[in-house]
Structure 1
């Protein structure tokens, strides 16, 4: 089943239609979650055409693999930057656009819908994975 990301404010589709990765076996088979070599090459943890659902067994596996990561256990979804559609741009708030070679994503949502809603956070710097994490307060998923 395919799913796509939409803006809660204007209902614009923000992503391509994506296949969910929602179990550990699929995550281990399809995703590149290594923490080394990030300075040598761009690492896109989620393949294009997919969304990684960080919840339940996948969340538990990530917490086990990276001690101290997401201790509150918040569910989230990770996407490939190539799956964001053209209506999603960068925020005008330059305090959210930090990074040396790209965006580090450390200052909260930095991508906006054409209606100006802050719809997610792009990470694309030399020391970060290259990914998009939707803002659940401003977006919803539809199948």
Structure 2
């Protein structure tokens, strides 16, 4: 009596598998050694990635720093405790329109774009990370920009026409937002300022 076609196909498949396992020294009852090696490597990579993610948080400890102008090197802010958005123990600032975003004496390093305004690509505020601080922590060396266009807004400066605060040395050092559609916050320009530990009035290189 002839065997059904599907049983013949199964038998041929089983025969071919046995032939391949014997020809290449593989065991059907044990995992392939090369496959085990790849799994081990994948596990190591995953563990390494976890360590990197943890180290990212550890690289951003809370510290007390002051803001300096990179042109004249004079201090522009009071010493501030800087919290990082990468620290899981730090909460994101609560946005209240028309109210201070950050408490006096502190600053917040944000790794996300500001949520209260859309910033188009290429805009002066299109950069990350950003430091958010209370404008009341700026020193008397910081003044309004002489360019009135940069200070335009409704109930205060909107801060969307470029940096609107200048150092006494006449370099624009950051953007104040204090309009009726923004919180009250100062965002230093990273190209014109630098954060340094300590509270000396003058930042002496290095």
TM-score (norm 2): 0.56
Q: How far apart are the structure 1 equivalents of 2:139 and 2:73?
A: 13
Q: Could you tell me how far 1:33 is from its partner in structure 2?
A: 2.6
What per-residue deviation string (whole Å, max 9, x for no partner) do you get for residues 62-91 of structure 1? Answer: 68x88x878877211111111111110011
Q: Which residue of 2 aligns with 1:50?
A: 106
Question: Which of 171, 187, 190 matches 1:136?
Answer: 190
What CA RMSD, in Å, does the superposition of the two structures yield over aligned residues? 2.3
Q: Could you tell me how far 1:101 is from its partner in structure 2?
A: 1.3
Q: Which has the higher contact order (CA 8 A, sep 6+)?
A: 1
Q: How far apart are the structure 2 equivalents of 1:124 and 1:101?
A: 8
Per the alignment, do residues 104 and 53 of structure 1 end up closer, same or farther by CA in structure 2, a change over 3 Å counting?
same
Q: Which residue of 2 aligns with 1:99?
A: 153
Q: Which residue of 2 aligns with 1:124?
A: 178
The question of whether the paired residues in 2 share the 8 Å contact of 1:5 and 1:13 is answered with yes
The structure whose residues are more often helix, as a share, is: 2
Per the alignment, do residues 95 and 74 of structure 1 end up closer, same or farther by CA in structure 2, a change over 3 Å counting?
same
Q: Which residue of 2 aligns with 1:26?
A: 90
Rg bigger for which structure?
2
The structure whose residues are more often strand, as a share, is: 1
Q: Could you tell me how far 1:32 is from its partner in structure 2?
A: 2.1
TM-score (norm 1): 0.79
What per-residue deviation string (whole Å, max 9, x for no partner) do you get for residues 30-86 of structure 1? Answer: x3235xxx2xxx32111111110013xxx3xx68x88x8788772111111111111
Q: Secondary structure at the match of 2:89?
A: helix
Q: How far apart are the structure 2 equivalents of 1:96 and 1:142?
A: 27
Per the alignment, do residues 69 and 87 of structure 1 end up closer, same or farther by CA in structure 2, a change over 3 Å counting?
closer
Question: Which of 76, 86, 95 matches 2:130?
Answer: 76
How many residues end up aligned between the 2 structures?
128
Runs of 5+ consecutive residues of structure 2 not aligned to the other structure: 1-62, 198-206
